[in-house]
Amino acid sequence: MLHTPRVHAVALPLLAAGLLGLCGCNSPTLFPDRCTVAVVTVSPPAPSLAVGDSLTLTAAYTGAVACQPDVPASGLHWSSSDTAVATVDSLRGVVRARQAGTAGITVHAPGEERVLGGTPVSVIGP
């Protein structure tokens, strides 16, 4: 008997923690207008998709101090750690599942490389 759901229930939160821990996402980011954002939350967290499915992720600022950054959360850019597994539209956050595996989907400010938030996406399929 396979216990795949249990493995995913344990592995996905660990991957999410690893993605955010390695990128330094928990430390505040200073935007050009001097607003400090502690973290960007990506929803839904740790989604699972079947090969061929798509899903739109959203980003929201949390921990903003005193003001909002020049870039609205809807204007942040997206990227995938493994485009063979899942691609993501860099402007709209639409994830497309391509093959079985897990890809980290991250979000960053336009023109910036520092990751502000992210989530693992699991693709289930043949």
Chain segment 38-97, per-residue pLDDT in tens: 578 899 999 999 999 999 999 988 765 555 566 777 889 999 999 999 999 999 999 999
Confidence category of residue 98, pLDDT binned at 50, 70, 90: very high
Which residues in the chain belong to E strands, given as ranges? 29-30, 36-37, 39-43, 48-50, 54-56, 58-62, 77-80, 86-88, 94-97, 101-108, 117-124
Q: According to the model, what pLDDT value does residue 47 have? A: 97
Cα distance between residue 82 and residue 84, in whole Å:
5
What number of other Cβ atoms are within 10 A of residue 86's Cβ?
28
3-state secondary structure of 22: helix
As a whole number, the mean pLDDT across the chain is 76
Complete domains list, the chain, with CATH: 4-124 (2.60.40.1080)
E strand or H helix that includes residue 17: helix 4-23
7 vs 29: which has the higher pLDDT: 29
pTM confidence score: 0.69
Q: What is the SS3 assignment for 43?
A: strand
